[in-house]
Chain A
Amino acid sequence: EAGVAQSPRYKIIEKRQSVAFWCNPISGHATLYWYQQILGQGPKLLIQFQNNGVVDDSQLPKDRFSAERLKGVDSTLKIQPAKLEDSAVYLCASSLDDVRVENTEAFFGQGTRLTVV
């Protein structure tokens, strides 16, 4: 079974530039998550989709971050304009259903490491 695919793996941009990350979840997974992991910290949820609808985006800085999940499959996360504090690893994860459902777990991609200079 193919895992969660993310691209690019690494990205370096200057502050005030824009950047986009792409995620292809495991086939059939209804729930998709974007997490931000700053160095030395645990992942923090940015946005959660159920199919193509947003379930939780309460921690997404909406003035600069946006995300979409077209047709309930692939997803893109965009930052515009980027700030120095956005330097982090952006992790995409997917799960068959809500993780509170028995035997449901979230699978993570390898992440995109963003450096803003």
Chain B
Amino acid sequence: AQKVTQAQTEISVVEKEDVTLDCVYETRDTTYYLFWYKQPPSGELVFLIRRNSFDEQNEISGRYSWNFQKSTSSFNFTITASQVVDSAVYFCALSEYSGYSTLTFGKGTMLLVSP
């Protein structure tokens, strides 16, 4: 069975600090897909990134970067020079290749960025 663990419930930083959100996953599949979503106070989940299990290259998109390490089953998300607008709940999710395409989410990490 697939499982996603986000151990950090809440993180508070001051603007311009760097922050890393941790995500650890469990799966028996060798092929799987990992995602990060952002949930601002308005409620809808906003897609940030998708990564398949065969692509271990780290990715950078502006102030966002993702570190995927199969050896530790982790897919961590770093925000560089955080801004107040980054305040939201961030979810990591997993979808296994076998069976249904169900997205299994972690419990989320609430990020609070203060000015």
A interface list, Cβ under 8 A from B: 3-4, 31, 33, 40-45, 48, 55-56, 89, 91, 93, 98-100, 105-111, 113
Q: Interface residues of B toward A: which range?
A: 20 to 34
Which residues between 47 and 94 of chain B lie within 8 Å of chain A, taking CB atoms? 47, 50, 91, 93
Nearest A residue to B48 via CB reads A105
Q: B: which residues have CB within 8 A of A?
A: 4, 6, 33, 35, 37, 42-47, 50, 91, 93, 95, 97, 100-108
Task: Using CB atoms, name the residue of chain B closest to A98.
Answer: B101
Closest to B50 in A: A105
Residues of B within 8 A of A108 (CB): 37, 44-46
* Interfacial chain B residues near A111, Cβ < 8 Å: 43-44
Q: How far is the CA of A42 from the CA of B38 in the complex (A)?
A: 11
Residue of B33, B43, B97, B105 contacting most chain A CB atoms (<10 Å): B43
